[in-house]
Amino acid sequence: MKFDVSIAPTTLTEVPDLAREAEALGFDAIWTSETQHDPFLPLALIAAHTQRIQFGTAVAIAFARSPTVLAHTAWDLAHSSGGRLILGLGTQVQAHIERRFGMSWPNSPVRFLRETIEAMRAVWACWQSGDRLNYRGEHFKLRLMTPFFNPGPISAPDIPIYIAGVNRGLCRLAGELANGFHVHPYHSVRYLREVVRPSIEEGAAMGGRDPGEIELSVTAMFVEDPDRAAFVRSQIAFYASTPSYRPVMAIHGWGEVADELSGLARRQAWGEMPRLITDEILETFAVVAPLPRLGATLRSRYDGLADRLTLYVPFTLAVGEDLWSQTLAGFREAA
């Protein structure tokens, strides 16, 4: 199992130092997200200021970009880094796509993401092998690629694509088409075993693939002291209030709790929501262990279930070094 790290939303001037420090500590990959900043710009700096560490998006919003734009960005990053890029894509939710990005929400998000992946790969095949570009889908029809716009082949053309999601449809799509799946931080071990993994296996069977080829990248909530417990309770409460995530609570018999949280969220009663997250719920959705045992506990919880692990806290130089060094050391020693 690989141990990765996500960097905090920050200015580009801080990225080189963060990247060098993450590589020096021994992390396997660095992830960026699409929140306050563009997720791709930091990756160019990470590629330029590191030698070994992988990097990628967790995630970039696919529905806010055309497949050709995504293809160009990923191609250049893969080429400049010698193949260290992992392209992580997500759908976001309808309100954000329509009201934050000004784009249309598709009738079938799974179908739209499928076509985005297929179309990107058609563009890459055109550039790498000279195949004629002729992708025809419901949402995208790509038939024009003249030499002026073709960057040509690169040494690392097989760019891994991870997709993110919570429910079965996107899990199945990952199994059928993707190289990996970014698990939402709001998950439980039971949900991974009973929903995520079986759905990926179903998709792999549909695509005639070995499900073992699809990497599961898990971002884990954790509690190592009382201060973080309060924060994590609020995060679980927020995620559990989202109607589309209700199955995650329901599998544990906490559907009524999720409904109550949704009602509080509609009234914007945010301060009342964490009290509904009992110790049992907290320990189901977060790893609870003191710092000296955190790494080993994380390894024990996800061993044989995840291929990559990231802590649900951004990597910044201001965060205590003990969190990173002790957790990483304990994680590796428990292997």
Q: What are phi and psi of 69, to 5 degrees?
A: -60, -45
Q: Are 106 and 63 in contact (CB under 8 A)?
A: yes
Task: Specify the residue for token string 């699409």.
Answer: 34
Q: Give the SS3 label for residue 310.
A: strand
- Could you tell me the CATH superfamily of domain 2-222+289-333? Luciferase-like domain (3.20.20.30)
pLDDT digits 0-9 by tens, 159-185:
999 999 998 999 999 999 999 999 999
Provide the residue count of the chain: 335
Q: List all residues 6 or more positions away from 182 whose beta carbon is below 8 Å from its beta carbon.
A: 58, 59, 88, 90, 162, 163, 164, 165, 217, 219
| pLDDT for residue 182 | 98
How is the chain split into domains, by residue range? 2-222+289-333, 225-288
pLDDT digits 0-9 by tens, 9-52:
899 999 999 999 999 999 999 999 999 999 999 999 999 999 99
Query: How far apart, in whole angstroms, are the C-alpha atoms of residue 186 and residue 169?
Result: 17
- What single-letter amino acid sits at 8? A
Give the relative orientation of helices 41-49 and 15-25 as an angle to the nearest 10 degrees: 50
Report percent pLDDT > 90 for the chain.
Answer: 94
Nearest to 61 by CA among 49, 73, 53: 73
Query: How far apart, in whole angstroms, are the C-alpha atoms of residue 311 and residue 185?
Result: 9
| pLDDT for residue 316 | 83
pLDDT digits 0-9 by tens, 200-226:
999 999 999 999 999 999 999 999 998
Strand partners, 87: 161
DSSP character at residue 83:
S
Q: What tokens were used for 282? A: 């907290």
| pLDDT for residue 319 | 62
| pLDDT for residue 8 | 85
| pLDDT for residue 335 | 87
- DSSP per residue over 165-233, as a string? ESSHHHHHHHHHH-SEEEE-SS--HHHIIIIIHHHHHHHHHHTT--GGGSEEEEEEEEESSHHHHHHHH
DSSP H or E stretch at residue 308: strand 308-311
Task: Specify the residue for token string 């990097």.
Answer: 55
Task: State CA 277 to chain mean position distance.
Answer: 24
Q: What tokens were used for 152? A: 């040509």
Q: Are 294 and 322 in contact (CB under 8 A)?
A: no
What is the pLDDT tens value at each position of the chain, 335 positions in all? 999 999 988 999 999 999 999 999 999 999 999 999 999 999 999 999 999 999 999 999 999 999 999 999 999 999 999 999 999 999 998 999 999 999 999 999 999 999 999 999 999 999 999 989 999 999 999 999 999 999 999 999 999 999 999 989 999 999 999 999 999 999 999 999 999 999 999 999 999 999 999 999 999 999 999 889 999 999 999 999 999 899 999 999 999 999 999 999 999 999 999 999 999 999 999 999 999 999 999 999 999 999 999 999 999 876 667 899 999 999 999 98
Number of helices followed by number of strands (H, E) in the chain: 14, 12
Q: What tokens were used for 55? A: 């990097």
Q: Give the SS3 label for residue 54.
A: strand
Q: Are 118 and 137 in contact (CB under 8 A)?
A: yes
Indicate the pTM of the whole model. Answer: 0.95
Nearest to 182 by CA among 244, 95, 89: 89
| pLDDT for residue 322 | 86
Strand partners, 181: 163, 216
